[in-house]
């Protein structure tokens, strides 16, 4: 066997073994009354943008795509969901103290205005999360008004 073939076979074996390390895809329970949209009642358009562009990572309502079954992409994706929920969890928003809620909304304005969110890698795989400037302005203006 050539050296190159050995390396390729080694990589293939590692890939196959990696598939046995599955991520946990159960969504944590969500109390509907604590949800951001349920408690703040934003206009339908705002709610719809948040649900399509943010809720997969920032809530307990994650819809896992097909490639979440493929390691190591799945591990990387799960890391984003854990990190996203930790920084901002729309499913628990009504539990935030008034100070924390205000701070989080300021951060939302900042990251949407600065085009830091949604994450670029997410937008590549979710065309519907590719926000137009108009949608960004809409979000930013509504959140500023709520502050
Ligand atoms: C693919 C997952 C993903 C999506 C989709 C996503 N985020 Fe995030 N978000 C993260 C992660 C991960 C972090 C943690 C900080 C980091 O790694 O950049 C984060 C951090 C944040 C923060 C905190 C920033 C800080 O400085 O701590 C805000 C606010 C935020 N996101 C808002 C949004 C909004 C609003 C949307 C939708 C328009 C969105 N995110 C979509 C994954 C995501």
Q: Mind listing the pLDDT tens digit for each residue in 107-126?
A: 999 999 999 999 999 999 99
Distance 118 CA to ligand 1 centre (A): 6
Distance 51 CA to ligand 1 centre (A): 13
140 close to 112: Cβ distance less than 8 angstroms = yes
Which of 29, 55, 31 has the alpha carbon at shortest distance from 42? Answer: 55
Q: How many Cβ atoms are within 10 Å of 89's Cβ, its own excluded?
A: 21
114 close to 139: Cβ distance less than 8 angstroms = no
Confidence category of residue 1, pLDDT binned at 50, 70, 90: confident
Ligand 1: does its nearest atom lie under 6 Å from the Cβ of 10? no
Peptide bond into 118 cis (omega under 30): yes
75 close to 25: Cβ distance less than 8 angstroms = no
Render pLDDT for 2-56 as a digit per residue (tens, 0 to 9): 999 999 999 999 999 999 999 999 999 999 999 999 999 999 999 999 999 999 9
Which residue, by CA, sits nearest to atom 11 of ligand 1? Answer: 84
Ligand 1: does its nearest atom lie under 6 Å from the Cβ of 46? no
Counting from 1 in the atom list of ligand 1, the atom nearest the Cα of 77 is: 1
Among 42, 101, 117, the mutation site with the greatest number of ligand 1 atoms within 8 A of its Cβ is 117
CA 65 to chain centre: 12
Render pLDDT for 46-93 as a digit per residue (tens, 0 to 9): 999 999 999 999 999 999 999 999 999 999 999 999 999 999 999 999
Q: Residues 84, 86, 87, 93: what is their CA dihedral angle, to the nearest 10 degrees? A: 100
Ligand 1: does its nearest atom lie under 6 Å from the Cβ of 57? yes
Render pLDDT for 77-89 as a digit per residue (tens, 0 to 9): 999 999 999 999 9
């Amino acid at each position: 066997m050539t050296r190159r073939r050995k390396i390729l076979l080694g990589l293939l074996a590692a890939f196959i073994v990696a598939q046995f390390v599955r991520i946990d895809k159960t969504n944590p329970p969500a109390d509907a009354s604590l949800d951001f949209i349920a408690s703040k009642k934003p206009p339908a358009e705002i709610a719809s943008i948040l649900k399509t562009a943010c809720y997969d990572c920032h809530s307990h309502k994650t819809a896992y795509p097909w490639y979440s079954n493929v390691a190591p992409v799945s591990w990387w994706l799960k890391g984003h969901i854990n990190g996203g929920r930790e920084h901002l969890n729309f499913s628990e928003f009504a539990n935030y103290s008034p100070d924390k809620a205000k701070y989080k909304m300021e951060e939302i304005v900042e990251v949407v205005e600065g085009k830091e969110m949604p994450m670029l890698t997410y937008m590549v795989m979710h065309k519907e999360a590719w926000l137009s400037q108009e949608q960004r302005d809409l979000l930013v203006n509504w959140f500023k008004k709520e502050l």
